[in-house]
Structure 1
Amino acid sequence: MNYNKRFFGMLALAFISFMGLAQLSTPPGGGSQRSYVKQHIGGVGSVAIEYSSPGARGRTIYGGIVPYGFNNLGFGLSTTDNPSPWRAGADQNTTFNFSHDVKIEGQDLPAGKYGFFVAPEEEGSWTVIFSKDNNHWGSFFYQEENDALRVEVEPEDAGFHEWLTYEFIDRQPTSTTVALIWGDKKLPIKIELANPVKAHMEQLTAELNNQQGFSFQNFTAAAGYASSVGEHEKAIEWADAAINAPFVGQKNWATMSTKGAILAAAGKAEESAQVMDEAIKLPGATAGAIHQYGRQLIAAGQKDKALEIFKYNHKTNNGAWPTNYGLARGYSAVGDYKQALKYMKLAKENIPAGDNVNGPIIDQNIEKLKNGEDIN
């Protein structure tokens, strides 16, 4: 490859820098303009790629202006004994900047900014390199000892692409695939968050230590997420903050029922029951909300406790919808189908106006109860 033009341009830039002269913002020549693309991953992570984008301009790319494998570039540290890969762009290093630890094609790579290099091959997979050196001109000073990661990636045929481009061609909840596309080749590279749960927990912790922490609703939401991913200790801590934190905490159905659910998920059934016994008496504990709590108890195998809750709901809310339905479920759960049938028929009489869903279901449940079948 003829590097003379670029080499002397590089020397000119070095001379200007050495002399301390300010550079003018002259119009770009249109050859290999700097480009930048960024993609968020999993809501908290991101990968940003900065590169110079050359055009094909009718030239043979792979095996032509981009030689296969590792090569002696005849300048800097690039020699026969220390051959260099392709800079995967033009001019200065192409760089990848990861906000969080990631996996590249399943291989771990810590968060940080890396120089990006590729060694194409005429057949088979290409070597992709993430280097700790990220501020060099091209790959003239490439050193294998500074590799942070090497992986092998299979290229794919693609429709012709004039300009070298990095494009995110697949975006999943915790991963993305970026493709280097140029000429008639596409090199897809899968990037995943190494630990999405850790990343989200760190993000939530940082936010709750900031303005978002002045809201019991945010502590409640964070507690729910932490519980859903098995971070029970932190979930309980945040649930307590939603209730008791100075100037922020509020004791209501939302905060207390969240804590009750978290305690249950953590295997603390007795503590959960105590919290929920208080929660159902607090503002926001609607007949519908208490009904759903009763159904959760049945699903957890706590049938007697569920019936107790359904009775409380019926008495407190004067038989309003869906408290009769709840009693029918409760009695059915403990095997008292006669009482269950009684309340199921009452539930049919007070279906809310405009509800076209529950009527047919109640009719089916009535037939089940007549036959001595559980409706839950």
Structure 2
Amino acid sequence: MGQIKTPSASTAASITQEFGLGEISIEYARPSKKGRDIFGTNALVPYDKLWRTGANQATKVTFSDDVKVEGVALKAGSYAVLTKPGKSSWGVNFYSYESGNWGSYVEKDATASIMVKPAKLQMAFETFTIMIGNVTSNSAVIGLMWDDTYVPINVTTEVDTKVMAAIEKTLSGPTANDYYNAGVYYLNADKDLNKALEYVQKATKGDNPMFWQLRQESLILAKLGRYKEAANVAEKSLKLAEKAGNDDYVKMNKDSIKMWSKK
């Protein structure tokens, strides 16, 4: 039997905004005014009582990176947002998100709580609206709007430190691990073995090469027909593997040394 579908009284909505090096996502339900008094002592949403900040379920905000809301630190993750409207100030509480059941958060301690000042709008919003505006490279404002009330929540994120670290890492050139991965790829893909050796030796030439890196160097040398050198490098890999307690590499190196010593 078919089912009759009717419009939802409070429609679901979501918004995603690029922010800093990540994004902010918000999921919420949008009740409408319908001629009612919205915020006030005897209104639909009473002053000084926790509100789910929307309808149906708890509003959910997700930060892909660490942020600060009005200067208070919040780790990357998802949060249920419950607010406490007031005439001259609003409390905004962020709880680690567990479910859409907003009542389950009421008796819990918030991960972060802030106070913000509401403002009067020159126009009225019939439907509860959340927007993300005033977006810069490291700041934005999450705005709650309903009727003629606007509640701004300032959000910031650290960008400069991350970008400068990425710039320095990139401009300093490939890491030892980059060279190692490139060399192993050349070996396994049957590409230029001399280039493979060059790359891997850039990774093993330091003071603390890893036994698995030396193992790959020895395999490349052997494939180039340089068996004596391959056995010498395998000896180094063997000693490090024994020290690390890696029996698999110990056996592989012993087998290879025995075979290459006969070449």
TM-score where L is the length of structure 2:
0.61
Q: CA deviation at 1:239?
A: 6.0
Letter of the 1:51 partner, please give it: Y
Q: CA deviation at 1:144?
A: 4.5
Distance 1:152 1:135 in 2: 24
Residue number in structure 2 paired with 1:172: 136
Residue number in structure 2 paired with 1:92: 57
Residue number in structure 1 paired with 2:32: 55
Q: CA deviation at 1:197?
A: 3.9
SS of alignment partner, residue 141 of structure 1: helix
Once the two structures are superposed, what CA deviation does each residue of 1:12-53 show, in whole Å capped at 9, x if it has no partner? xxxxxxxxxxxx9863533101000011112x2111000000
Letter of the 1:67 partner, please give it: P
**Alpha-carbon spacing, 1:144–1:111, altered in 2? closer, same or farther (3 Å):** farther
- Structure 2: unaligned runs, 5 residues or longer: 186-263
Q: CA deviation at 1:106?
A: 1.0
Distance 1:29 1:178 in 2: 27
Once the two structures are superposed, what CA deviation does each residue of 1:354-375 show, in whole Å capped at 9, x if it has no partner? xxxxxxxxxxxxxxxxxxxxxx
**2:5 corresponds to 1:40:** no
**2:215 corresponds to 1:238:** no
Equivalent of residue 149 in structure 1, options 112, 116, 139: 112
Residue number in structure 2 paired with 1:196: 159
Distance 2:4 2:23 in 1: 32
Distance 1:134 1:184 in 2: 32
Distance 2:131 2:116 in 1: 16
Return the structure number with greater helix share.
1
Q: Do the aligned partners of 2:83 and 2:92 also contact (CA within 8 Å) in 1? A: yes
Equivalent of residue 99 in structure 2, options 123, 126, 135: 135
Once the two structures are superposed, what CA deviation does each residue of 1:276-302 show, in whole Å capped at 9, x if it has no partner? xxxxxxxxxxxxxxxxxxxxxxxxxxx
Letter of the 1:38 partner, please give it: T
SS of alignment partner, residue 48 of structure 2: coil
Letter of the 2:142 partner, please give it: V
Distance 1:90 1:142 in 2: 15
Residue number in structure 1 paired with 2:7: 29
Q: What is the root-mean-square deviation of aligned Cα atoms in Å?
A: 2.7
Larger radius of gyration: 1
Return the structure number with greater strand share.
2
SS of alignment partner, residue 178 of structure 1: strand
SS of alignment partner, residue 37 of structure 1: strand
Distance 1:104 1:144 in 2: 22
**2:80 corresponds to 1:115:** yes
- Structure 1: unaligned runs, 5 residues or longer: 1-23, 71-84, 203-221, 227-233, 249-376
Residue number in structure 2 paired with 1:104: 69
Give the % identical residues: 30
**Alpha-carbon spacing, 1:66–1:25, altered in 2? closer, same or farther (3 Å):** farther
SS of alignment partner, residue 95 of structure 1: strand
The higher-RCO structure (CA 8 Å, 6+ apart) is 2
Q: CA deviation at 1:125?
A: 1.4
Once the two structures are superposed, what CA deviation does each residue of 1:122-168 show, in whole Å capped at 9, x if it has no partner? 2x211001012441333x33334331100001111112000101011
Q: Do the aligned partners of 2:80 and 2:96 also contact (CA within 8 Å) in 1? A: yes
Once the two structures are superposed, what CA deviation does each residue of 1:285-342 show, in whole Å capped at 9, x if it has no partner? xxxxxxxxxxxxxxxxxxxxxxxxxxxxxxxxxxxxxxxxxxxxxxxxxxxxxxxxxx
SS of alignment partner, residue 5 of structure 2: coil
| 1:189-268 pair list within 5 angstroms | 189-193=153-157, 195-197=158-160, 199-200=162-163, 225-226=167-168, 234-235=169-170, 237-238=172-173, 246=182
Q: Do the aligned partners of 2:59 and 2:100 also contact (CA within 8 Å) in 1? A: no
Q: CA deviation at 1:67?
A: 0.6
**2:186 corresponds to 1:186:** no
TM-score where L is the length of structure 1:
0.43
Distance 2:143 2:3 in 1: 31
**2:67 corresponds to 1:67:** no
| 1:285-304 pair list within 5 angstroms | none
Distance 1:91 1:135 in 2: 12
List, as ranges, runs of 4+ consecutive aligned residues in structure 1 with deviation greater than 3 Å. Answer: 24-28, 143-146, 197-202, 243-248
**Alpha-carbon spacing, 1:106–1:161, altered in 2? closer, same or farther (3 Å):** same
Paired residues in the alignment total: 178
Equivalent of residue 160 in structure 1, options 115, 124, 140: 124
